[in-house]
């Protein structure tokens, strides 16, 4: 069997400040605050006013003329924060993940509410979560598996809704069917949502967790977390850990001995 090694290609000569990708599209923010998207625009996820089935943008195309500070892409939608800390979403909206109170798709950025204190945003699958500057966490969209953390799985939530009452959320990462976030000055890790493959990491490996569930660190305290497709990886001050679905050896743990890892497992380098 012949194998090949991918060769990295420079996207452009411009300087870039941030990048995030959905399942079939990417968006990036340049150092000057300009937002650019490319890839599949079938659902309007690029924010360029398209949304025609089969439409592709092969090169980065600027989204409007505004300046932006953060962007995140999901399966068929995108959300981003402008320089004035307002939040905007666009693309597919079948599970109300755009946060405008409807399930209608939008091919250009649409403002979510009137707040101007958003600090970060993370979207994946068909749900969205964001943190305000005061440390409160808000989620909306697909709630079928408890991934919004609101204790009410089932009905879609069509506008940003606060998750609990905590005011010390530091970061949030939306996965395909679950979500994780860090809270506190020496952060505690919480995960919630679909847990059939162990992605929540609480050891049960079944059903779903409808509210944030604390995941105890094996050593020291957590420093960052990334939720993916039914799997999660996180770092402590000394080590890296992954857990969840490992059927495609996606967790970097070497030859697998089981299909799912139900608790944080050390990644050895």
**Residue pLDDT, tens place only, 184-208:** 999 999 999 999 899 999 999 888 9
Which residues share a beta bridge with 201?
none
Q: Return d(Cα 33, Cα 70) in angstroms, integer.
A: 9
Q: Return d(Cα 262, Cα 202) in angstroms, integer.
A: 7
Scanning 34-138, the segments in alpha helix (DSSP H) are: none
Q: Return d(Cα 208, Cα 144) in angstroms, integer.
A: 10
Domain range spanning residue 238?
125-269
Q: Return d(Cα 53, Cα 159) in angstroms, integer.
A: 27
CB atoms within 10 A of CB 259: 10
> Is 105 contained in some domain?
yes
Query: Could you tell me if 132 and 40 lie in one domain?
Result: no
> Is 69 contained in some domain?
yes
> Alpha-carbon Rg of the chain, whole angstroms?
18
Query: Could you tell me if 110 and 171 lie in one domain?
Result: no
> Is 4 contained in some domain?
no
Query: Could you tell me if 19 and 50 lie in one domain?
Result: yes
Round the average pLDDT of the chain to a whole number and report it: 91
> Is 8 contained in some domain?
no
Confidence class of residue 13 from pLDDT cuts 50, 70 and 90? low
**pLDDT(11) > 70:** no
Which residues share a beta bridge with 20?
27
Query: Could you tell me if 64 and 188 lie in one domain?
Result: no
Residue 2 confidence (pLDDT) = 45
Tokens (6 digits) for 102: 């409807």
Query: Could you tell me if 34 and 68 lie in one domain?
Result: yes
First vs last Cα of the chain: how many Å apart? 27
Confidence class of residue 247 from pLDDT cuts 50, 70 and 90? low
Highest average pLDDT, of 45-59, 114-128, 147-161, 209-223, comes from: 114-128
Domain final position from 74, 97, 116: 116
- Weakest mean pLDDT among 17-26, 60-69, 251-260: 251-260
Residue 183 confidence (pLDDT) = 98
Closest CA to 250 of 234, 226, 265, 229: 229
Higher pLDDT among residues 134 and 11, named by residue? 134
Q: Return d(Cα 150, Cα 153) in angstroms, integer.
A: 8
**pLDDT(248) > 60:** no
Structural domain count, the chain = 2
> Is 222 contained in some domain?
yes
Say which residues have a Cβ less than 8 Å from residue 117's Cβ, sequence separation at least 6.
Answer: 85, 132, 133, 134
Tokens (6 digits) for 138: 């808000």
> Is 169 contained in some domain?
yes
Query: Could you tell me if 142 and 253 lie in one domain?
Result: yes
Query: Could you tell me if 222 and 264 lie in one domain?
Result: yes
Contact, 153 vs 99, CB < 8 A? no
- The CATH number of the domain holding residue 264 is 2.130.10.30
Burial of 219: CB neighbours in 10 Å, binned 0-12, 13-18, 19+: exposed
Share of residues in the chain with pLDDT > 70 (%): 90
**pLDDT(18) > 70:** yes
> Is 2 contained in some domain?
no
Give me the sheet containing 178-183, strands edge to edge: 169-174, 178-183, 188-194, 208-215
**pLDDT(167) > 90:** yes
Query: Could you tell me if 205 and 224 lie in one domain?
Result: yes
> Is 3 contained in some domain?
no
Domain final position from 116, 146, 178: 116
Residue pointed to by tokens 């079948």: 94
Query: Could you tell me if 265 and 156 lie in one domain?
Result: yes
The total number of residues shown for the chain amounts to 269
Query: Could you tell me if 103 and 140 lie in one domain?
Result: no
Query: Could you tell me if 39 and 101 lie in one domain?
Result: yes
Query: Could you tell me if 41 and 89 lie in one domain?
Result: yes
Domain final position from 62, 92, 116: 116
DSSP string, 177-209: SEEEEEETTTTEEEEEEE-TTSTT-SS--SSEE
């Amino acid at each position: 069997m012949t194998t090949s090694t991918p060769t990295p290609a420079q996207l452009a000569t411009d300087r870039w400040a941030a990048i995030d990708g959905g399942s079939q599209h990417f968006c990036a923010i340049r150092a000057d605050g300009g937002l650019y998207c490319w890839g599949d625009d079938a659902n309007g996820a690029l924010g360029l006013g398209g949304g025609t089935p089969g439409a592709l943008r092969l090169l980065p195309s600027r989204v409007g003329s505004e300046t932006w500070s953060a962007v995140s892409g999901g399966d068929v939608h995108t959300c981003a924060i402008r320089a004035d800390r307002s939040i905007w979403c666009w693309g597919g909206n079948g599970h109300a993940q755009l946060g405008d109170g409807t399930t209608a798709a939008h091919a250009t950025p649409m403002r979510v509410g009137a707040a101007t204190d958003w600090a970060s945003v993370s979207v994946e699958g068909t749900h969205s979560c964001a943190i305000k500057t005061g440390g409160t966490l808000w989620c909306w969209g697909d709630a079928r598996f408890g991934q919004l953390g609101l204790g009410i799985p089932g009905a879609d939530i069509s506008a940003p809704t606060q998750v609990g009452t905590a005011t010390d959320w530091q970061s949030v990462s939306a996965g395909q069917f679950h979500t994780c976030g860090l809270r506190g000055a020496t952060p505690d890790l919480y995960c919630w949502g679909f847990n059939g493959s162990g992605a929540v990491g609480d050891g049960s490996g079944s059903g779903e967790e409808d509210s944030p569930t604390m995941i105890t660190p094996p050593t020291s305290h957590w420093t960052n977390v990334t939720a993916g497709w039914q799997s999660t990886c996180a770092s402590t001050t000394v080590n890296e850990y992954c857990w969840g679905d490992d059927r495609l050896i996606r967790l970097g743990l070497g030859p697998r001995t089981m299909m799912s890892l139900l608790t944080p497992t050390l990644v050895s380098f």
